[in-house]
């Protein structure tokens, strides 16, 4: 399944943007409203965007790409651009390998300086991945989603975050109190949301803006 968190001036605008990004129809996604947004004072000051979490159903391919996408070309381009970015950053690497999975290009960087590629809490890795996706999206033939990794950081991070989510949910269930994680990137927030998606005792929410955006967990059917 593919899953994205999207902002818009209204909930409907956010939903439409997310559906377009996923490349599927509205009936093919599950929609969770994270924030309905506010118009602010006189509609000018203090505006808060609406945010929704869209998750495709199982029969939709993750990382859906346009029909005109040329996957071999996109892989070659992704590999080339990744190498160029690493060189510009002054990071030495031994290889950049690519593979296709569910309509998405997986890129694995072999480097003795993986800590520089990953950065604090994976922020550098996230930034490089965003740049790659922006560059590849310029041309229809290379408009394929990219996932960047090194030293299996993504897999280890996902396992760690899932464990944290389960432990925090148990705490919320026991105490009845809301739990808030420290601010984290969108990808990490998505992992938390998905890890607890089917938990019948708690529900997740997001709050804050930009670098300060965080995920919270609260008991279902209870108020703060």
What digits encode the pLDDT tens for the residues 197-217?
A: 889 999 999 888 777 889 999
Structure confidence at residue 216 (pLDDT): 94
The pTM score is 0.61
**pLDDT over 70 percentage in the chain:** 86
**For the chain, what are the domain ranges?**
3-56, 71-151, 155-219
* CATH fit for domain 71-151, picks 3.30.300.20, 1.10.10.350, 3.40.50.150, 3.80.10.10: 3.30.300.20
CA 108 to chain centre: 18
Structure confidence at residue 221 (pLDDT): 72
CB 10 within 8 A of CB 30: no
Q: Which residues pair with 101 in a beta bridge?
A: 104
C-alpha distances in Å from residue 118, one per residue of 78, 154, 201: 18, 10, 34
Q: Report strand pairing: 104-110 vs 146-149.
A: parallel
What digits encode the pLDDT tens for the residues 114-153?
A: 999 999 888 899 899 989 999 998 888 898 889 999 999 9
CATH code assigned to 155-219: 3.30.1370.50
pLDDT exceeds 60 at position 42: no
Confidence class for position 34, pLDDT limits 50, 70, 90: confident
C-alpha distances in Å from residue 113, one per residue of 89, 90, 96, 117, 131: 11, 10, 13, 7, 20
Structure confidence at residue 21 (pLDDT): 66
């Amino acid at each position: 399944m593919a899953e994205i968190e999207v902002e818009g001036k209204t909930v409907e605008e956010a939903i439409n943007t997310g559906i377009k990004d996923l490349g599927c129809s509205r009936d093919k996604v599950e929609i969770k409203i994270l924030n309905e947004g506010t118009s602010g004072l006189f509609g000018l000051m203090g505006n808060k965007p609406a945010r929704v979490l869209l998750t495709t159903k199982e029969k939709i391919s993750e990382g859906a790409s346009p029909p005109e996408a040329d996957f071999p070309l996109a892989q070659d381009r992704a590999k080339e651009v990744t190498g160029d970015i690493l060189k510009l950053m002054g990071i030495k690497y031994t290889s950049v390998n690519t593979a296709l999975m569910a309509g998405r290009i997986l890129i694995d960087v072999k480097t003795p300086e993986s800590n520089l590629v990953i950065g604090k809490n994976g922020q550098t890795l996230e930034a490089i991945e965003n740049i790659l996706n922006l560059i590849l999206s310029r041309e229809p033939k290379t408009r394929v989603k990219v996932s960047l990794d090194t030293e299996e950081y993504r897999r280890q991070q996902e396992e760690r975050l899932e464990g944290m989510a389960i432990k925090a949910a148990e705490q919320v269930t026991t105490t009845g109190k809301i739990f808030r994680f420290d601010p984290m990137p969108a990808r990490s927030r998505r992992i938390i949301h998905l890890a607890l998606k089917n938990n019948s005792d708690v529900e997740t929410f997001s709050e804050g803006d930009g670098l300060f955006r965080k995920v919270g967990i609260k008991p279902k059917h209870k108020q703060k």
